[in-house]
Structure formats: structure tokens, C-alpha cells
């Protein structure tokens, strides 16, 4: 189910350009017991208001709201309502994408893995309703979250309108995560979030920092107040804020143009900094003992079909 962009450094790929109209749906979570009818209605209403949207993205665990339950029951309820990726629940979500012929990221859901594991899994459906990607959160917010960590980075080609990388909330606090997504070809990072704590301000800085150091677009969609702290944000590849929401329910709309990423990487941030072109081929590798690895000039450039 995981799709990684696997391109050799010298592989030439012809890929048509295109822009994508994206909506970040900052919403309150839907109750985990029966979220689909409410979700379907919200998707329909959002597309009626913004009929040109081609990709619609919801927050982390949007379909898994437990705020109406006592604290002691929430973790058990989340796990009890986890779904396998081949379940009817997932099929119905795909049907919503197919009905409206859009790319749909319904946020993340509790996933029951093939060996009984419990994951926090971000989904992406294409306009035909097919589940194109599923990403398991790599960095659960320990010790508070009950999920197991995933181990696979996931990027997805958006059929000629760039390449999206997947990120869930706390993942953004680990710079290695965003860097790896960029290296795998992500010119757009979809960071779905359920931040209910006061550190949303720091997350906004991280969104800008991750966009700057990787020269790509970062879109972070949070759940709305009073459950979450809102303030969904879109940051361009030079770190400038393209759009930012308030705290209540609203839809943040922006145009994603992958050529903007290509342009910044070729010309440099503010016409100056070209981090992805840092090394010459005759430079010595740099040891990274923390990872038992190294930075090698031979493999530093992103594996990006549009570079």
C-alpha cells in the first residue's frame, strides 16, 4: 500500500506541469462511533462553496473524535473503532472521493494492521475513489498516544500536479522526517494535525522552518476550536506564509504550483541559497555517527522527477 518515488539520479522522466486547487478543512472532529454521514455532508457543503477544489484535506484523526467521552475511555475507544485498510469503512471513504471526483485526504484514522497492530494512518484517495496512499504516523506523541509507530515514508504523485509527502502532527518536530520526504520527491508536504495543546505557535514556526530548509510547500491543517488550536497554515518554499486560518472552523484555500518549488531550488531561496546543490561530486562524504550513516555528495540531490 505504500508508494515511494524510486528514481535514479540520472533517470529522465517527462512529467506534465499543472497546478492544483487545494482546500484545508479546519474542522471539529466527527464522533468516532458514526462519522461518515457527517463527513460526507461536510465534503459536499465545502465543494458547493468552493467548487474548483481538486484536493481536500482534513485534520489528524478527524473521523475519530472522542472528546464527548470521559478521558479514561478515549484510548480504548479509539482502538476499538480502528479499521483495516480493506474494510467497508475505507471503501465508503473512497466512494465520497469518487462521487465528487476529487483527491481526498480525510485526515488520519485508526488502522488495525495485519498483525493486530494499532496505527494512526493518513489516507489519500484519488478522484476515482481508489486508495492511493496510506501513511502510518512515524512519531506518535509519546507517552500520550496509544498508536504504534510506522516505519515507511510515503510520497504520492498527484498525476501531473506535483508530488505530495505525508506527515502527521508530531512528525513535523523531527527535521529528519521532512528532509527525507523532500529527498524522496515531495514538493508538497501535507501535515495533518490534531493539536489541542498550547504549542501550536511552535508548530507554525516548524512549518516555516521545514519549508525553508527543504525548499518545498508545507500545508499544515489543524482541528478547530474549542477542541483544537486551529491556525492551519500554508507556507511556500521560501518560508513565506501563503495563508493562515484563525481558530474556528474554516476552509483555507490555496493554489499549489510545483513549478514554484522547481524555480526556488534552481534560483535559490531569495535568489541566494541552493541547499540541494551544496556538494560537488568530488567532495568527501560527511559522517553522521548519530545515524550510523553519512551524507554522500553522490546521493545528496532529491530524487525528484521535475528537478
Residue 17 confidence (pLDDT): 54
For 226-235, what is the mean pLDDT? 98
Window from 21-25, 80-84, 184-188, 284-288 with minimum mean pLDDT: 284-288
Q: Strands (DSSP E) along 151-216, which ranges?
A: 155-157, 163-168, 188-192
pLDDT tops 60 at residue 222: yes
Q: Does domain 20-299 have CATH number 3.40.50.300?
A: no
Q: How far apart are CA 66 and CA 81, in angstroms?
A: 11
pLDDT tops 80 at residue 306: no
Residue 303 confidence (pLDDT): 66
Residue 2 confidence (pLDDT): 32
Residue 297 confidence (pLDDT): 80
Window from 8-12, 220-224, 234-238, 255-259 with minimum mean pLDDT: 8-12
Residue 208 confidence (pLDDT): 98
For 282-303, what is the mean pLDDT? 84
For 126-138, what is the mean pLDDT? 98
Window from 7-21, 95-109, 172-186, 231-245 with minimum mean pLDDT: 7-21
Residues paired with 234 in a beta bridge: 219, 243
The single-letter DSSP state of residue 108 is E
Residue 11 confidence (pLDDT): 33
pLDDT: which is higher, 82 or 15: 82
- The cell for 84 is 483495516
Mean pLDDT score of the chain: 92
Give pLDDT tens digits for 231-282. Answer: 999 999 999 999 999 999 999 999 999 999 999 999 999 999 999 999 999 9
Query: Look-up: residue for cell 527543504?
Result: 214
Q: Where are the domains of the chain?
A: 20-299
Q: How far apart are CA 89 and CA 37, in angstroms?
A: 12
Distances from the Cα of 64 to the Cαs of 106, 194, 219, 240, in angstroms? 11, 11, 21, 32
Q: Decide if 29 contacts 61 (C-beta within 8 A).
A: yes
- Nearest 5°: phi and psi at 221? -110, 120
pLDDT tops 50 at residue 13: no
Amino acid at each position: 500500500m505504500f508508494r515511494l518515488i524510486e528514481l535514479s539520479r540520472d533517470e529522465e522522466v517527462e512529467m506534465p506541469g499543472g497546478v492544483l486547487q487545494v482546500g484545508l478543512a479546519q474542522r471539529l472532529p466527527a464522533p468516532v462511533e458514526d462519522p461518515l454521514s457527517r463527513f460526507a455532508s461536510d465534503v459536499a457543503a465545502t465543494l458547493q462553496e468552493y467548487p474548483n477544489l481538486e484536493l481536500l484535506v482534513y485534520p489528524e484523526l478527524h473521523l475519530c473524535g472522542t472528546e464527548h467521552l470521559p478521558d479514561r475511555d478515549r484510548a480504548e475507544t479509539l482502538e476499538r473503532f480502528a479499521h483495516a485498510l480493506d474494510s467497508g469503512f475505507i471503501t465508503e471513504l473512497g466512494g465520497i472521493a469518487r462521487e465528487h471526483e476529487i483527491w481526498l485526504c480525510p485526515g488520519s484514522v485508526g488502522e488495525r494492521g495485519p498483525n493486530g497492530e494499532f496505527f494512526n494512518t493518513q489516507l489519500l484517495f484519488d478522484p476515482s475513489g481508489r486508495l492511493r496512499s496510506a501513511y502510518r504516523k512515524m512519531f506518535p506523541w509519546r507517552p500520550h498516544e496509544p498508536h504504534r509507530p510506522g516505519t515507511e515514508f510515503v510520497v504520492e504523485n498527484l498525476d501531473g500536479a506535483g508530488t505530495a509527502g505525508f506527515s502527521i502532527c508530531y512528525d513535523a518536530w523531527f527535521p529528519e522526517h521532512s528532509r527525507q520526504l523532500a529527498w524522496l520527491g515531495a514538493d508538497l508536504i501535507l501535515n495533518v494535525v490534531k493539536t489541542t495543546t498550547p504549542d501550536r505557535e511552535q508548530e507554525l514556526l516548524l512549518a516555516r522552518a521545514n519549508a525553508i530548509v527543504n525548499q518545498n510547500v508545507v500545508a499544515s491543517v489543524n482541528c478547530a476550536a474549542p477542541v483544537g488550536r486551529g491556525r492551519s497554515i500554508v507556507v511556500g518554499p521560501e518560508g513565506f506564509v501563503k495563508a493562515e486560518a484563525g481558530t474556528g472552523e474554516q476552509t483555507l484555500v490555496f493554489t499549489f504550483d510545483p513549478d514554484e518549488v522547481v524555480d526556488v531550488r534552481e534560483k535559490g531561496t531569495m535568489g541566494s541559497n541552493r541547499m540541494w546543490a551544496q556538494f560537488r561530486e568530488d567532495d568527501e562524504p560527511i559522517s553522521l555517527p548519530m545515524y550510523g550513516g553519512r551524507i554522500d555528495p553522490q546521493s545528496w540531490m532529491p530524487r525528484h522527477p521535475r528537478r
